[in-house]
Amino acid sequence: MNNFSDGEAFGRVNLMGEHLDYNQGCVIPLQINKSVNVYLKKDTTIEGIKIKSENFDQEIFTSVSNKKMNDWTDFIKGSLYLFGKKYNLNIKQLCIEVKSNLPIGIGVSSSAAVTVSTLKALCSLYNKEIKNSELVELAHSVERDFVGVAGGVMDQFASIYGSQNQALFLDTKSNNYDLIKLSGDYIFFIIDSGKQRILTDGSLNQKRQYCKKISIKLNIENLCILDELDDHHKKILTSEELDIAKHVVYENQRSKLGKIALVENDLKKFGSLMTQSHNSLRDLYKVSTSELDLLVELCNTFGSLGSKLTGAGFGGAIVTLIKKELVEDLKMFIIENYPNAKFL
């Protein structure tokens, strides 16, 4: 778009390690070919900020402040506010246009993509150079400190460092990462259940607080430092707390095993780990839904190597590992048994 400074950021699907980034565990996201584009330009005809989105067919007038609007524009407002604070800028008289083909509320990191693309556009507009590591932290701060969603750093990291043909293995405690090239014969295929979830309702924050409570009870920094839950841990924790701890500890192990499987191109093993992950999210962490469970069952019945929900859960999408040549047949099978499904 002429005379606009722009930024683009891609979404991601998480292949392994759900609910581990806020427990400082290991995760395996994969960037997807769906993105958010944010365009900025100065507009002296307005006093504050005008936000336009073709996806919502709306125009919003606001100002840069620390006051939230409690909708998707908070990720833009938070980016403007914290960017201005970082660089001591008085940001005003700005027209912002948002274009996106990345679905909202299905677990593919649309909020992080909005944030990262806005920050990239601001860097372009104000001629600021920023290291990728600083951009990750600034984007994470928007979500955590401004919007108030207490997730980890995975989504922002995947948006900035990720690749669409390489899985990203990330240790969220150290932020050390590896990119792993994927086999060309199989793909990680995303299916939207049609049930949108909203993380700003506090559901994710509650899970994080519960994990923190359990860590304090066990007198440890976080659950991911454990390799095993022994009899001592089992005596201290309630049955509900033990289920939460089991998911986190053993999901972290699955992520590490998943990295080895991908490096060795053992996709059968990786697919099995995906399904184990989903079962844990369903039975122990209790963030799945009947819709997600049905889609996982259908994909695995059809012949996928493995399937799981992606993202925080509570609705949204699943990801399934399947041979490329079978994707169209899988689509027909899913529609026959789950007509509300949408495919990315």
Hey, which residues are catalytic here?
155
- Could you give the C-alpha distances from 266 to 158, 160, 256, in angstroms and in order? 23, 27, 14
Residue count of the chain: 344
In this structure, what are the phi and psi dihedrals at residue 58, rounded to the nearest 5 degrees?
A: -150, 160
Which residues are CB-contacts of 219 (< 8 A; sequence separation ≥ 6)? none
| Owner of token pair 């948002």 | 98
Are the C-beta atoms of residues 284 and 313 closer than 8 Å to each other?
no
What tokens were used for 51? 């936000």
- Could you give the C-alpha distances from 171 to 167, 177, 204, 209, 253, in angstroms and in order? 13, 6, 20, 21, 12
Task: Detail the DSSP E strand segments found in 126-224.
Answer: 166-171, 176-181, 186-192
Rounded to the nearest 10 degrees, the angle between the axes of helix 290-302 and helix 327-337 is 140
Secondary structure (DSSP) of 108-122: S-HHHHHHHHHHHHH
Read off the amino acid at residue 22.
Y
As a whole number of angstroms, the distance between CA 213 and CA 103 comes to 33
